[in-house]
Structure formats: structure tokens, C-alpha cells
Amino acid sequence: MVKEGKRRVLSNYQIRLRFFHVIEKLMYAYGDGRGPIKSRSVIGIADILFLFRRHPFHVRRLVDNFKLRKASLAFKSYTDHFTNTKDGNDSIGTLCVDMSNDVDEKNVSEKQIQSIYDALSTIDLRGDLLAFVRDSSKDDHEKLERMRRLSQYAASMDEFEYLQYSKARCMKFARSRVSKRIACKKGKFEWVDGPKVESDVIAVLDYLAHEVVCVLVEGALRARRENSNVLSSISSEPLQLEHYDESLKKNKGFMNNGDLIFGC
């Protein structure tokens, strides 16, 4: 601040601070938090979920994904018990061993679901997004159509094909339990020389990677159906490169902002 006679002249830095102060108060007045989120040295799940704020269906799908994982782990423990048990005498011991192998992962799924709700509460002060996620009356038509298509696709398979298809559906980018735990403990991806991340972020990024592949393939299927004038998108023939190219061109998010998921 410089004094010119009796008048005070503010520096550019002080002017910017004043504008920031006014904007911060106005944001609070219209429903934002009273103060900014404290700076952190790691990428947390709230930082990633901020991208979801205009796409509530993706938040619900993410929560459903973790719930389904929790249920599948419980079912796996149940089926492994009856598959591996040879007689009734050792059934209790086998059940305890089988369930102990997956109890850690089930607890992780529960914590991940709760961490999503906790993170949403920090960026969704009005509660609209949380209310939408918890409201089961609103159908996700895009996901329902996807499930219908995949169900028809699987119905045409024989036993061997369905086994391979089921294994493909269960693939994950962070599929190795050991490597995932190492990455979580170190707080970063070992294959990326980047900032540290929280363990829950890995699961969210894995979901997003699945969605990117799914959106790209679904767009390619639509392109092939439109070009061939065939009503059904079910076919054993592989998609062509031109179909994927058309999928990218018709994705508004990718063409406008280079983002298949959150671009529009």
C-alpha cells in the first residue's frame, strides 16, 4: 500500500485479495462453505468426486459398484466353503478359513462406501447430490439399457463362452491384491511418478477407467448398427477401427472438451 498525500493507493496484490475476500463471502452467502478446503499434500477422494458433481448417476453407479463388490465377496466366501468342504465334520473350520481370507476386502468396501458419503458432504453442502444418490426411485435409464444389452449378449453364449465372458466382466486395472495393498501403503501409484493419492482414490479411478472403455465400446456398437442398418447390436464379429473412430466423433464430451465421461 502506497500513500499519495492523504489518499491510500492499494497495490495489485491487495486489490486481488480484496476481490477474493468479497467473492469468498458471496459464495458462502449463496450456499458454499464458510471457508475453502484446507490444502493437502495428497490427492483425496473428495478431489476426484468433485468431477462427479454434475453427473449424479455416476456417483450412484460408483456406490452401487462398491456395494456389489461387497456382496460378491460374501457370496464368494459362501460358495468357496461348500465347494472345498468334503464332509460335515470340518465344515465350521473351513468356513472360518474361507471367510477370513475376504473379511479384509469386505471391510474395505464398507469403508469405501462411507468415504464416498463423507467426501460428498464436503463438496455438496446443500445435500442435493447426496439426496439424489440415496433416492432409489430415480432410474438410471442408461445403465438399465446397458444391462439389458449385456443380458441379451450373454444369453446367446454356450457354457464355455459364458465362463470366459464372466471372467472378462470381472477384470480390474487394480486386480492384484498384493500390488494394490503395496500401492495403498505407499500412498501412490508405483507405475506413475506423480503426487501421492489416498487408497480409496484407486478404486474410483478403476471405476472411471471401466466407464471410459464401456462408453467407447457402446458408441462403436451404435456406429456399426447405424452403418449396417441392423436393429440389434449383438454380434460375434469384432468391431472395426472405423466404428471406434465414429464413437469418438459422436461423443459430445470428447469432441468439445476431450473427456468421454465428464466432458458434457
159 belongs to a structural domain? no
CA terminus-to-terminus distance, the chain: 44
Q: What's the grid cell of residue 175?
A: 486386480
Question: Residue 83: is its pLDDT beyond 60?
Answer: no
> Is the model more confident about 208 or about 110?
208
Q: Which residues on adjacent β-strands are paired with residue 8?
A: 3
* Same domain as 97, residue 14: no
The residue range of the domain holding 58 is 42-138
* Same domain as 133, residue 65: yes
Q: Are 97 and 182 in contact (CB under 8 A)?
A: no
Q: What is the pTM of this model?
A: 0.67
Q: Which residues on adjacent β-strands are paired with residue 197?
A: 43
Q: Are 165 and 157 in contact (CB under 8 A)?
A: yes
- Sign of the dihedral defined by the CA atoms of residues 53, 56, 60, 61, in that order: negative
- In this predicted structure, what is the pLDDT of residue 98? 41
Question: Residue 96: is its pLDDT beyond 70?
Answer: no
Q: Are 133 and 57 in contact (CB under 8 A)?
A: no
Return the SS3 of 8. strand
The 10s digit of each residue's pLDDT in 3-40 is 555 566 678 888 888 888 888 888 878 777 666 666 66
Q: What's the grid cell of residue 131?
A: 439426496
* Same domain as 77, residue 19: no
161 belongs to a structural domain? no
- Least reliable range by pLDDT among 14-18, 133-137, 143-147, 229-233: 229-233
Mean pLDDT of the chain: 75
- In this predicted structure, what is the pLDDT of residue 242? 92
Spatial distance between the Cα atoms of 201 and 183, rounded to a whole number of angstroms:
11
* Same domain as 259, residue 177: yes
* Same domain as 109, residue 52: yes
* Same domain as 188, residue 127: no
Percent of the chain topping pLDDT 90: 8
Scored b (16 or more CB within 10 A) or e, 65-79 reads: bbeebbeebeebbee
152 belongs to a structural domain? no
Q: Are 217 and 239 in contact (CB under 8 A)?
A: yes
Spatial distance between the Cα atoms of 57 and 65, rounded to a whole number of angstroms:
12
- Least reliable range by pLDDT among 49-53, 106-110, 190-194: 190-194
Q: Which residue bears the cell 469384432?
A: 238
Strand 42-43 to 196-197 pairing: parallel
Q: Are 41 and 196 in contact (CB under 8 A)?
A: yes
- In this predicted structure, what is the pLDDT of residue 126? 82
> Is the model more confident about 91 or about 107?
107
- In this predicted structure, what is the pLDDT of residue 244? 92
151 belongs to a structural domain? no
Q: What's the grid cell of residue 189?
A: 501409484
> Is the model more confident about 29 or about 235?
29
Number of structural domains, the chain?
Answer: 3
- In this predicted structure, what is the pLDDT of residue 225? 87
- In this predicted structure, what is the pLDDT of residue 85? 52
Mean pLDDT of 186-200: 61
Question: Residue 77: is its pLDDT beyond 90?
Answer: no
The 10s digit of each residue's pLDDT in 196-220 is 778 788 888 888 988 999 999 999 9
145 belongs to a structural domain? no
The DSSP string of 22-51 is: HHHHHHHHTTS-SSPPPP-SEE-HHHHHGG
> Is the model more confident about 153 or about 181?
153
- Least reliable range by pLDDT among 75-89, 100-114, 160-174, 230-244: 75-89
Mean pLDDT of 64-87: 63
Question: Residue 182: is its pLDDT beyond 50?
Answer: no
219 belongs to a structural domain? yes
Alpha-helical regions (H) of the chain? 12-29, 45-49, 56-84, 91-123, 128-134, 141-155, 159-169, 177-186, 199-228, 241-249, 252-257
157 belongs to a structural domain? no
Mean pLDDT of 211-236: 81
63 belongs to a structural domain? yes
* Same domain as 50, residue 27: no
